[in-house]
């Protein structure tokens, strides 16, 4: 553990010295692990590799038995360590146990010494994370919510872990859905401008267009004609598209502001549509793609290209028979554009699990075409979010649940809880807190779940002040702030603890000490779930400490360290919530 790297190195030197004196071969390095916490902290290393080295060098040994002998030898001869008063040999392992007082003091002081406790060292790797991907000319519905929240939290965690992160979005601003909207607007709503709630209005017009076409399928001819005009870049169509697109984009920006999400680069499929067609033409010329027009589409038989006898990647359609672009057309160009613009080590797509085969096909096609960076593209898939009542989300039918409606309901429900718990707050305070609690209640259940599992959203669980939910963690932060406010001042210098620590203190310090490890695990596995679990356990440990250990009324030396522990807990909870995109209020 990095907080004790100096002490760990000193122990390593002591171990190596003993091995040298005994003529035992030295390993390139000693691997250390944490001893599972059971009321005390420790680190451990094994000597199985050392014993195996002896065997490799010709010594007749039984590796497990010899590892036990070496660990016993080291335990008996290792000089006394200030930080490790207890050393034991166990089954080929050497276990060193920390002095609990020194360990506790080091953890708390490490949190005090930096505003960014747990921040990883620079990895010198650049990652692009593409997430959210709403469609213009449609409603911004809850179907976009999981990608937005998961992608944002992942970016925050990756940055904190030490990666250089580029946040990307990819608007679906052209396609059959947009052409239908433009046709309906131009024919039945020409000259109208959106009301204040532009996103809802645009969604309504899209649903209206779909109904008209379903009632009269012959209208598809008009829509195809309009699509052809777009393909020819008819100035009248392009101008109408640009004007109406901005209405959607403005609505998106408002929504992202509410969610506290920002982007470094916003792509759009209109930006890569024609470049995608160029790539398709290149694939045709090189014999990678088959042009079956006008009777059929342009396709890539990926399995045949790879010489696979068993079906794996199947056939990717890269262009319609009428020459118009598909998702695949644009995704080929988008992937290429990303690597042209940025020196990426990885390009991560946070997209619905149903697109898994699509991405495999697109990236494998690019690989066949010689784009070696295609192997650096990764799909972070996620499952759907089920809302109360299992409302069907389908913007073409007009039954879509708008994200702004969900947020409004979350704030309203949170406000009811805040008014019950703290009626003396001002109206402004109540509104601020209900926003923080409401948005936290929406975000946390999405992040506190395996990405590939369905999230079944439930209001009672999401707003639970006593369970694994954002309000519970936020309230622990508020409780810590309340103690600190009553104390008036917290000693800056860490001098303790010089008393027997309460078991609740030990558990809390253990949780705090694990925070840097949790950040790295979350980043490495792309799982905010590790962080949500850790924050809940920290909040639970803090609440247990709050109930079982006196703080403000304790003796002065005990009071000083416990106040420092309260402040350390508050800092870790605040940082952790921020990494999830959730506010940490001071009162609730």
pLDDT-derived band of residue 1, with 50, 70 and 90 as boundaries?
Answer: low
- Helix (H, G, I), strand (E, B), or coil: what is residue 78? coil
Q: State mean pLDDT over 482-500.
A: 90
pTM over 0.85: yes
Rounded-to-integer distance, Cα 149 and Cα 155, Å: 10
pLDDT over 50 at 392, yes or no: no
**Higher pLDDT residue, 114 or 359?**
359
pLDDT over 90 at 402, yes or no: no
Within 10 A of 9 (CB to CB), how many other CB atoms are there?
10
Residue 128: phi and psi, rounded to 5, are -105, 130
Percent helix, strand, coil in the chain, to 5, is: 55, 10, 30
> By the 8 A CB rule, do 437 and 464 touch?
no
Over residues 238-255, the pLDDT tens digits come to: 999 999 999 999 999 999
What is the residue-wise DSSP string for 123-174? ---EEEEE---PBTTS--BGGGHHHHHHHHHHHHHHHHHT-EEEEEEEEB-S
pLDDT over 80 at 391, yes or no: no
Cα 92 to the center of its chain, rounded Å: 39
**Domains located in the chain, CATH noted:** 2-98 (3.30.1360.70), 131-271+331-386 (3.40.50.620), 405-579 (1.10.730.10)
CA distances from 565 to 162, 216, 541 (A): 26, 69, 12
**Average pLDDT over all residues of the chain:** 94
> By the 8 A CB rule, do 30 and 49 touch?
no
% of the chain at pLDDT higher than 70: 98
> By the 8 A CB rule, do 77 and 17 touch?
no
Q: What is the pLDDT of residue 389?
A: 63
pLDDT over 70 at 397, yes or no: no
**For the chain, how big is the Rg over CA atoms in Å?**
30
pLDDT over 50 at 396, yes or no: no
């Amino acid at each position: 553990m990095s907080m004790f790297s100096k002490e760990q190195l000193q122990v390593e030197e002591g171990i190596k010295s003993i091995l040298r004196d005994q003529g035992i071969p030295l390993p390139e390095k000693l691997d250390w692990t944490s001893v599972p916490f059971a009321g005390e902290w420790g680190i451990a290393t094994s000597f199985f590799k050392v014993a195996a080295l002896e065997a490799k060098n010709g010594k007749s040994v039984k590796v497990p038995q010899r590892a036990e002998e070496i660990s016993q030898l080291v335990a008996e001869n290792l000089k006394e360590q200030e930080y490790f008063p207890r050393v034991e040999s166990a089954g080929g392992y050497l276990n060193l146990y920390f002095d609990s007082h020194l360990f506790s003091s080091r953890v708390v002081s490490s949190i005090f010494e930096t505003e960014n406790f747990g921040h990883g060292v620079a990895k010198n790797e650049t990652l692009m994370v593409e997430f959210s991907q709403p469609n213009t000319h449609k409603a911004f519905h809850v179907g976009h919510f999981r990608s937005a929240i998961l992608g944002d939290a992942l970016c925050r965690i990756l940055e904190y872990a030490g990666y250089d992160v580029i946040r990307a979005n990819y608007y679906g601003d052209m396609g059959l859905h947009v052409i239908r909207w433009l046709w309906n607007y131009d024919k039945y709503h020409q000259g109208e401008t959106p009301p204040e709630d532009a996103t809802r209005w645009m969604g309504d017009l899209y649903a209206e267009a779909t109904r008209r076409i379903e009632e009269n399928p012959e209208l598809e001819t008009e829509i195809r004609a309009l699509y052809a005009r777009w393909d020819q870049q008819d100035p009248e169509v392009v101008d109408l598209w640009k004007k109406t697109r901005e209405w959607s984009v403005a609505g998106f920006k408002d929504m992202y502001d509410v969610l506290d999400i920002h982007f470094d680069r916003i792509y759009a499929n209109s930006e890569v549509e024609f470049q995608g067609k160029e790539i398709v033409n290149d694939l045709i010329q090189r014999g990678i793609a088959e042009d079956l027009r006008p009777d059929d589409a342009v396709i890539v038989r990926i399995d045949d290209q790879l010489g696979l006898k068993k079906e794996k990647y199947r056939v990717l359609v890269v262009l319609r028979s009428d020459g118009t672009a598909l998702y695949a057309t644009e995704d080929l160009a988008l992937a290429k554009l990303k690597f042209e613009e940025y020196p990426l080590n990885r390009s991560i797509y946070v997209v619905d699990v149903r697109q898994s085969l699509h991405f495999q096909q697109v990236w494998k096609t690019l690989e066949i075409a010689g784009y070696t960076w295609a192997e650096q593209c990764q799909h972070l898939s996620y499952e759907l979010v089920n809302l109360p009542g299992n409302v069907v989300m389908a913007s073409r039918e007009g039954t879509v649940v708008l994200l702004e409606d969900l947020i409004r309901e979350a704030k309203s429900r949170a406000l009811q809880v805040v008014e019950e718990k703290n009626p003396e707050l001002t109206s402004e305070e109540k509104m601020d807190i209900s926003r923080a609690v409401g948005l936290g209640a929406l975000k946390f259940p999405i992040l506190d779940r395996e990405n590939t599992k369905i999230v079944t959203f439930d209001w009672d669980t999401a707003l639970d002040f006593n369970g694994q939910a954002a309000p519970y963690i936020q309230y622990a932060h508020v409780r810590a702030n309340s103690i600190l406010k009553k104390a008036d001042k917290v000693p800056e210098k860490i001098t303790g603890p010089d008393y027997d620590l309460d078991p609740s203190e030990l558990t809390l310090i253990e949780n705090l000490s694990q925070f840097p490890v949790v950040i790295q695990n979350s980043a490495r596995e792309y799982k905010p779930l590790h962080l949500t679990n850790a924050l809940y356990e920290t909040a639970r440990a803090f609440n247990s400490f709050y109930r079982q250990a006196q703080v403000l009324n304790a003796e002065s030396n005990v009071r000083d360290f416990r106040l420092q522990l309260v402040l350390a807990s508050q800092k870790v909870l605040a940082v952790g919530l921020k990494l999830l995109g959730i506010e940490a209020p001071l009162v609730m």
